[in-house]
Structure 1
Amino acid sequence: MAVVKAASSFSGMYTKFKPHLLMFLAQIGYTFLYFITEASFNHGMNPHVYVTYRQFVSAIVMFPFAYFLERKIRPKLTFALFMEISLLSFLGVSSTLNMYFASLKYTSPTFVASMVNTVAALTFVIAVVLRLETLDLRHARGMAKVIGTVMSLAGVTTMTLYKGPILKNLWHPLIHLQRTTAIHEHWLKGSILTVGSCITWSLWYIMQAITLKRYPAQLSLTAWMSFLGGVQSAIFTVIVQHKQAAWTIGFNIDFWSTIYGGVVISGLIIFVQLWCTEEKGPVFVTMFNPFTTILVAGIAYFVLGEKLYLGSVIGAVIVIVGLYMLLWGKEADQEVNSETEEHSCSPCDEEKGPKTNNSGGKRSAGAIEMPCR
């Protein structure tokens, strides 16, 4: 009996925290992506070609799973829905990724990785404006969501603008990565591209929640976004990249970074994010983005021997505290909403049960039952 209760308790905990676990694993996947793509770009691969190939790899891998596993639940793809998915692909794939990787040429990976964390705050603001996210400042849960968002922005700002003293390395780096020392810095252009990618990324998360209501097939939606995003990125790359040699990759780091980005990131992790968006909403998904910056900084410092500044540590702590506050606010909102739904339906449940009349007999078959609203 005790074993059954323990198993039931564990199952309940797993169900409750499954989205949290999946999103944390997704951030680990993004962390490895940072290092493998950096090595590939240093090797000479064009970022726009990388995005194009990565999306086509994802489409090829995800198509059979989407076709066979979602045959019964996949809605009919109308022209209006196809155009909506095309816009979703444009926002989240071709626009965001191409601007993101292009900005790396003009700024620095640390700057871009830090700025991407503003996606959570931008998504929260847009979701509130579009009334996809509830915000009740009369209760502690509403204040926690606002304060958590502001703290996350403050933490990102601290990591970006304040360096502080360099923390001393405790040991020699375990791995040495070859990096190009010549960086063509153009901070204004790079900052504009980074901000643009953050805005389209936020809109993409918001639109995911809207599209999933009309097309609740995450595998199929992932496959369609990968394919359409690849086509859009290919058209853009052909316009800006005229050298045919840029499209040729060998069986080296360029190949493996493309496979990893296509299968793990654009395939598996995007599917996980779509599932979590449907379960918890777009703000929940974006609030885990700061973990990527923290994990990247930790691996770069402890494993690769890169410089770590005090400002990065302080900012990371602020981001984690803000993340906890916002997630607490969202969990409290969901509990309140669940209790409200239960109370609203409880009178109906009582009406549906076998009631007795004043004489002690059961309710007659012709009695009218009130529908649960």
Structure 2
Amino acid sequence: MTRSDETWSWRNEVLPFAAMLTITCLDMSGLTIIKAAMNAGLASNVFVVYHNALGTLILLPFFILHICRNTGRPRLTFHILFRFFILGLLGICLFEVLLYIGVSYSSPTMASAISNLSPAITFMAAAIFRMEKIDMRSRSSVAKLSGTIIAISGAMVFTFYQGPQLFVTIHSPLLLSQPSNWVFGGLIIFIGGSSGCIWQVLQSATTKEFPDQFTVVFFFCLFGTIQCIALSPFLEPNPSAWVVESGIGMIAIVFGAAYSVVFRVSALTWCLEKKGPVFVAMFSPLNIVVAVIMGVTFLGDSLHLGSAIGAVIVAAGFYTLVWGQVKAKNKLEEVRDVDVANEPGLSDQNAPLLGSLNESKC
């Protein structure tokens, strides 16, 4: 093996795995820090406003440089700006606000388990609106439907059944979890996750219509922050709650904004380019394992039998659904390849174009 082969193997095989493992751990570390800050008195809505405001400020100088360097970018219209406004409403005012309210009532472990329902929720919505056809004679359709049912069943077990306690933790007086309303928190997170799925569909359609992802991200954060600030008197009417002293609350706000804006988006984009969306999605159930370890270690959470069983069932449903999606995509690509080969007047140089279009959709 030559030196160039070793470099290629390290960059394309090892680094994406290390990056996704780092993202998974930092995602759950962020949720654990935020939960600890909420236990110490930081209101969830205050965190959402300050976190997004700081993130938008971090993005601002990069956005100005982006505008100066890219003079040929698409033109902003009222229709596109309205799309950005709706993205901010769905992705921040609904998704993030409900997510962190749910975490305040439950735990990061609950949030990580419910997040694995996103493919199932998206599939259900697509089937209801007839964007997804269900053919019981197709193995991919059966797998997607079965995975959806299994994942939802696991989430119900996770939420409604705790069972005996598996681990007895030594409670830390600083980060001790507050008494939680497990069921209510899970339902709030589920509603927020549903709005997040709608946001993903709309964001995908928006980036196709306006192919300037950095501008989409900036205006999404900007409009979401403005909306949260406008709603802040209703979300958190207590003026003293908006005074954040130095400590765990300030650490949560700075870490959340800097990590989400500076590192996470760039690393995820790079992993998607190198390994594809299926590789990235396969790390999702690992969030539950990391969340359980960090919750038990730092928050004094208790691990119950029902949570462990539910997490395993959710992960099994997730992988079954993803397998069905991969089978359906491969079958569609095979049909397209046959159509291209049989189409008269098309040369071989059109085949890579189809591949690039498929990659751009991801």
Does the pair score TM above 0.5?
A: yes
Shift of 1:145: 1.7
Partner Cα distance (1:137, 1:6) in 2:
45
Q: Please point out which of 211, 225, 236 is paired with 2:220.
A: 225
Partner Cα distance (2:194, 2:319) in 1:
23
Does structure 1 residue 142 correspond to structure 2 residue 141?
yes
Does structure 1 residue 263 correspond to structure 2 residue 258?
yes
For residues 223-276 of structure 1, what are the alpha-carbon distances to aligned partners after superposition, in whole Å with 9 as ceiling and x for unaligned? 211111111111111234344332222332222211121122356435666888
Instruction: Give yes or no for contact 2:38–2:104 (8 Å, CA) kept in 1.
Output: no
Letter in 1 for 2:295: A
Shift of 1:203: 1.2
Does structure 1 residue 43 correspond to structure 2 residue 18?
no
- Tell me: CA distance 1:168–1:54, structure 2 relative to 1, closer, same or farther (3 Å): closer
Partner Cα distance (1:59, 1:220) in 2:
12
Instruction: Give yes or no for contact 1:74–1:217 (8 Å, CA) kept in 2.
Output: yes
TM-score after normalising by structure 1: 0.76
Partner Cα distance (2:92, 2:66) in 1:
24
Q: 2:28 corresponds to which residue?
A: 31
Instruction: Give yes or no for contact 2:152–2:314 (8 Å, CA) kept in 1.
Output: yes
Does structure 1 residue 293 correspond to structure 2 residue 288?
yes
Q: How does 1:60-71 map to 2 (within 5 A)?
A: 60-69=57-66, 71=70
Partner Cα distance (2:74, 2:13) in 1:
30
Shift of 1:55: 0.6
Instruction: Give yes or no for contact 1:158–1:314 (8 Å, CA) kept in 2.
Output: yes
For residues 285-344 of structure 1, what are the alpha-carbon distances to aligned partners after superposition, in whole Å with 9 as ceiling and x for unaligned? 878654323320133336666422222222222222222222222222222222222222
Letter in 2 for 1:165: P
Shift of 1:185: 4.9
Q: How does 1:355-370 map to 2 (within 5 A)?
A: none
- Tell me: CA distance 1:324–1:140, structure 2 relative to 1, closer, same or farther (3 Å): same
Q: 1:159 corresponds to which residue?
A: 158
Shift of 1:214: 1.1
Q: 1:125 corresponds to which residue?
A: 124
For residues 160-200 of structure 1, what are the alpha-carbon distances to aligned partners after superposition, in whole Å with 9 as ceiling and x for unaligned? 2222332246xx86x94624665475966x56644432321
Instruction: Give yes or no for contact 2:90–2:196 (8 Å, CA) kept in 1.
Output: yes
- Tell me: CA distance 1:110–1:126, structure 2 relative to 1, closer, same or farther (3 Å): same
Unpaired runs of at least 5, structure 2: 355-362
For residues 69-108 of structure 1, what are the alpha-carbon distances to aligned partners after superposition, in whole Å with 9 as ceiling and x for unaligned? 4725642211111011111110110122222323445555
Partner Cα distance (2:10, 2:325) in 1:
22
- Tell me: CA distance 1:9–1:277, structure 2 relative to 1, closer, same or farther (3 Å): closer
Q: 1:251 corresponds to which residue?
A: 246
Partner Cα distance (2:76, 2:324) in 1:
37
Partner Cα distance (2:183, 2:154) in 1:
21
- Tell me: CA distance 1:197–1:159, structure 2 relative to 1, closer, same or farther (3 Å): same
Q: 2:82 corresponds to which residue?
A: 83
Q: How does 1:343-362 map to 2 (within 5 A)?
A: 343-347=338-342, 352=347
Letter in 2 for 1:101: Y
Higher mean alpha-carbon deviation, 233-242 vs 284-293, is at 284-293
Letter in 1 for 2:97: N
Higher mean alpha-carbon deviation, 126-135 vs 320-329, is at 126-135
Higher mean alpha-carbon deviation, 291-300 vs 4-13, is at 4-13
Partner Cα distance (1:176, 1:271) in 2:
35
For residues 118-173 of structure 1, what are the alpha-carbon distances to aligned partners after superposition, in whole Å with 9 as ceiling and x for unaligned? 3332122113344555654322222222212222222222222222332246xx86
- Tell me: CA distance 1:268–1:80, structure 2 relative to 1, closer, same or farther (3 Å): farther
Instruction: Give yes or no for contact 1:284–1:327 (8 Å, CA) kept in 2.
Output: no
What's the secondary structure of 2:148's corresponding residue? helix
Q: How does 1:93-104 map to 2 (within 5 A)?
A: 93-104=92-103
Unpaired runs of at least 5, structure 1: 354-371
Partner Cα distance (2:212, 2:300) in 1:
43
- Tell me: CA distance 1:148–1:187, structure 2 relative to 1, closer, same or farther (3 Å): closer
- Tell me: CA distance 1:259–1:296, structure 2 relative to 1, closer, same or farther (3 Å): same
Instruction: Give yes or no for contact 1:141–1:330 (8 Å, CA) kept in 2.
Output: yes
What's the secondary structure of 1:166's corresponding residue? coil
